[in-house]
C-alpha cells in the first residue's frame, strides 16, 4: 500500500493576473500564472527582463495585489485580508531580501538582525537567532555597523534578518545584483544552506543562470506566463533554456 504524502505549500498563486495601467498604456504583467512554492524548497524565478518576475514575487508576498486570481501564504488567501491583517502577515510570516541591502546604518549587525522582531514587540526565539548567526557566519561581526562590512557581509546580515522571525517563506529579488561574483556565490550558498539546515522556504528572483543553479528548482516566466519548470538546475541547462526565449530581431 502506498501512503499519500501531501507536499505542503509555503506560498502559491492561482490564475494570477496583474494588469498595470489601462487603455493604451495597459500592461499585462502577469497573464494567468499558477505556481506553488513547496515548504523546504529553494525556488528560483527566471525569465527575460519585463517577463513579470518582480511582479509575481511582489504579488505572492503581499507587497502588491493581483488584478484577478489568488495569492496564498500557508492557508491564508491574501485577498481576504484587510490592510492591517496583511501588514501583520508580512511582518510575522514573510521575510524579504532585496538587491539593496536596506540595513539601518546606525544599528549594529546584531540589532539589524533582530530589528523586525523588536518592531513587532517580541524577542523571537533566542536559540534560533543564535543558530542563524552561525549559519550566516557573522558571529565575529555582531557589534560592527553595516558600513564596516563588505557588500557580501551586509547581504548576509539581510539574509539573517529575513529569517529571524522564522517566516513561512523568504522572498528575495535579485539578492546578488549588487555583489561581485564571489560574494554573490557566498550569499547564494548561504540561502541554500539556510533552506536545507532549517527547512525554510526561499523564493528568489534572478536573471543569472549561475545564481539559479543554487536553487532546487527553477520556474521560467516569459511574457507574464509560466512557460517551464526545471528540477536540479545547472547553470548550463538554465542558460540553454534561457537562450530558447531569445527572439531573433
Ligand atoms: N508599476 C508599474 N506600472 C506599470 N507597468 C509596470 C509596473 N511595474 C511593472 N510594470 C510592467 O510589467 C511588466 C513586468 O515587470 P516586472 O518588473 O515584473 O519584470 P521583471 O521580470 O522583474 O523584469 P527585470 O528582469 O527587468 O527586473 C513590464 O512590462 C513592466 O514594464
Ligand atoms: Mg525585476
Encode pLDDT of 95-134 as tens digits: 999 888 889 999 999 999 999 888 878 777 889 899 889 8
pLDDT > 90 in the chain, percent: 73
C-alpha cell at 38: 513547496
For the chain, helix (H) and strand (E) counts, in that order, are 8, 10
Is residue 28 within a helix (H) or strand (E), and if so which, with residue range?
strand 27-38
Give the distance (Å) from ligand 2 centre to CA of residue 54: 4
Ligand nearest to the Cα of 50, by number: 1
Q: What predicted TM-score, i.e. pTM, was given to this entire model?
A: 0.92
217-241 pLDDT, tens digit each? 999 999 999 999 999 999 999 999 9
The whole-number average pLDDT for the span 12-20 is 98
pLDDT > 70 in the chain, percent: 96
Which atom of ligand 1 lies at the shortest distance from residue 30's CA?
14
Domains and CATH numbers, the chain: 40-50+82-243 (3.40.50.300)
Give the distance (Å) from ligand 1 centre to CA of residue 56: 10
C-alpha cell at 217: 528548482
Amino acid at each position: 500500500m502506498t501512503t499519500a504524502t501531501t507536499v505542503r505549500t509555503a506560498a502559491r498563486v492561482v490564475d494570477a493576473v496583474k494588469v498595470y495601467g489601462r487603455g493604451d498604456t495597459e500592461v499585462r504583467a502577469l497573464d494567468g500564472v499558477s505556481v506553488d512554492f513547496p515548504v523546504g524548497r529553494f525556488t528560483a524565478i527566471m525569465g527575460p527582463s519585463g517577463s513579470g518576475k518582480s511582479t509575481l514575487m511582489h504579488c505572492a508576498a503581499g507587497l502588491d495585489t493581483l488584478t484577478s486570481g489568488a495569492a496564498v501564504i500557508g492557508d491564508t488567501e491574501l485577498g481576504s485580508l484587510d490592510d492591517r491583517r496583511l501588514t501583520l502577515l508580512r511582518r510575522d510570516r514573510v521575510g524579504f531580501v532585496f538587491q539593496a541591502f536596506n540595513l539601518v546604518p546606525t544599528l549594529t549587525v546584531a540589532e539589524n538582525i533582530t530589528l523586525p522582531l523588536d518592531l513587532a514587540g517580541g524577542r523571537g526565539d533566542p536559540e534560533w537567532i543564535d543558530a542563524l548567526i552561525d549559519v550566516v557566519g557573522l558571529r565575529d561581526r555582531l557589534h560592527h555597523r553595516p558600513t564596516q562590512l563588505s557588500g557580501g557581509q551586509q547581504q548576509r546580515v539581510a539574509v539573517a534578518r529575513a529569517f529571524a522571525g522564522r517566516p513561512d517563506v523568504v522572498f528575495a529579488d535579485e539578492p546578488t545584483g549588487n555583489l561581485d561574483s564571489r560574494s554573490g556565490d557566498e550569499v547564494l550558498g548561504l540561502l541554500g544552506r539556510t533552506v536545507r539546515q532549517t527547512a525554510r522556504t526561499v523564493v528568489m528572483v534572478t536573471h543569472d543562470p549561475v545564481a539559479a543553479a543554487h536553487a532546487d528548482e527553477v520556474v521560467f516566466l516569459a511574457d507574464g506566463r509560466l512557460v517551464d519548470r526545471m528540477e536540479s538546475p545547472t547553470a548550463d541547462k538554465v542558460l540553454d533554456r534561457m537562450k530558447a526565449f531569445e527572439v531573433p530581431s
